[in-house]
Amino acid sequence: MERGRRRQRRQEQNSSLMRQPANANSWESNPRLELSRELEETRRELAREKSLTKRFLSQEQETRRKLEEAKQKLARKVKWNELSVAKEKDIQDEFESLKRTCDP
């Protein structure tokens, strides 16, 4: 859709340029120079968009890496907590067992 509008705009510019009186010293009145300038502008836009795309992809990879690290860290903490609770329960059971054997 964007391309269609650009193409239509260029065609309108070209047709209006063709209707203007030719002046070899004027940049705007020379359709070839105008198209060349527009092509360079389009190339700059494309290079900018490619650069942004590359940057965003890099940021996405970095974010995914950090997320994976956070998941692993959380999993380790959960596992440690589960082990601590299990140890605490074992110690409590052993204490209760010893208490029963010592009580007359």
Tokens 């193409």 label which residue? Answer: 7
pLDDT digits 0-9 by tens, 2-23 = 777 777 777 777 766 555 555 5
Domain locations along the chain: 2-102
pLDDT recorded at residue 86: 86
Contacts of 31 (CB under 8 A, 6+ apart): 14, 17, 18
pLDDT digits 0-9 by tens, 83-92 = 888 888 889 8
Contacts of 10 (CB under 8 A, 6+ apart): 35, 38
Kindly report whether the global pTM for this prediction surpasses the value 0.85. Answer: no
pLDDT recorded at residue 1: 64
Return d(Cα 68, Cα 64) in angstroms, integer.
Answer: 6
Reply yes or no on whether the pLDDT at 24 is more than 60. no
